[in-house]
Amino acid sequence: MSDELLSKILSGTASEEEKRAYYEEVATDESFQEEFYQTKSLWVRATAGRKETKLNLDEEYRNLKEKVSGMKKTGIRSLTRIWIGRAAMIAVLLSVGWLAHQLWSPGKQPVDFTQQFASSIGSISQMTLPDGTQIWLNSGSKVVYHETSKERNVQLVGEACFDVAHDEEHPFSVQTENMVVRDLGTRFNVRAYPSDEVTETTLIEGSAEILSGNNLKRICELKPGELAVYDKAKKRMSIQEIDPSTIVAWMDGKFVFRNEKLADICDELEKWYGVRFRFADDVIKDYRYTANIKRTTSISYVLKMLNITTHLHYSIQENKMEPDIITISTEK
């Protein structure tokens, strides 16, 4: 599609036939979605709230194209897969028809937009939002980003690290099933996998406050190096001091375990390798280990090291349609 047509689409001057053809290409061509989404996002921010009825469309579009090029395609990008190939980072257009109605209906100024990003099993992905905020997604995680004229909000399932571009006029918050983390000029990590018994927030630098997910009541304000742990069953929050580098080691392609239970270690391995662990004896779950493991390491090699260093044994049940099942035992 030509630059001229994209300019017409963004400004609302395209015909219905031109819009229909353009939306169809956006929906079916993944390589085309990146440029469209970056340019659309910047257009929304550049034109939201303007009082002018006439815009120099050619100049507007040229400015946006320059910004997109300057971003070096980091608005929606995938990192190199940590062991082989590419990280599968999915940028989904949420209902093209709805976007068309919201953004380009006659007489309507664009006031908000939504973007969704996901990272597949065994990959780490990074994105840069139009405001400059950077987000890293851990394996099997998803975020839905929603921006309005008043605020910026992220809904998170899984684990992500946020380096927030602070904006007093547009507060930034991350919402999980149990809590809301509000940015006060911050870099922080949030872990909120549905299968986990706890939800964790680690403040790396800056300041952030934790709010109740139910009534947005302020629970606490974190300091750098503090970890907030919310127990889902007990509905209690605890704060502890930690070394943030161990929490965000996943961003550097590492597993870092410090005197952790084998059950918790296996839980981490499950999320990365897409397997399931079973224990022949519950006592094994409480065995504790300290280890640094590169995420490029194959699961078979990790299991061999476990066998050599602890004399625990394992068996693998391979499945075609379901995750492989790995059974850990003290006997062969």
CATH number of the domain enclosing 299: 3.55.50.30
Q: List b or e across 37-63, with b for residues whose CB sees 16 or more CB atoms inside 10 angstroms.
A: bbbbbbbbbbbeeeeeeeeeeeebbee
In-domain check, residue 317: yes
pLDDT on residue 34: 56
In-domain check, residue 279: yes
In-domain check, residue 275: yes
Domains identified in the chain, total number? 1
Distance CA 280, CA 47 (A): 61
pLDDT on residue 282: 93
Q: List b or e across 126-150, with b for residues whose CB sees 16 or more CB atoms inside 10 angstroms.
A: bbbbbbebebbbbbbbbbbbbbeee
In-domain check, residue 92: no
Q: Dmax of the chain from CA atoms?
A: 77
In-domain check, residue 147: no
pLDDT on residue 3: 62
Instruction: Indicate left, alpha or beta for 27 from its phi (over 0: left) and psi (-120 to 50: alpha).
Output: alpha
The boundaries of the domain holding residue 289 are 253-329
Distance CA 7, CA 47 (A): 13
> pLDDT tens digits, residue range 77-132?
333 333 333 333 333 333 333 344 444 444 444 457 788 999 999 999 998 888 88
Residue ranges for the chain with pLDDT beneath 50: 44-58, 60-61, 64-65, 67-110
Please, what is the Cα angle at 66 between 60 and 72, to 5 degrees? 145
In-domain check, residue 66: no
pLDDT on residue 319: 92
Radius of gyration, CA atoms only, the chain: 23
In-domain check, residue 278: yes
Q: Is the pTM of this model over 0.75?
A: no
In-domain check, residue 301: yes
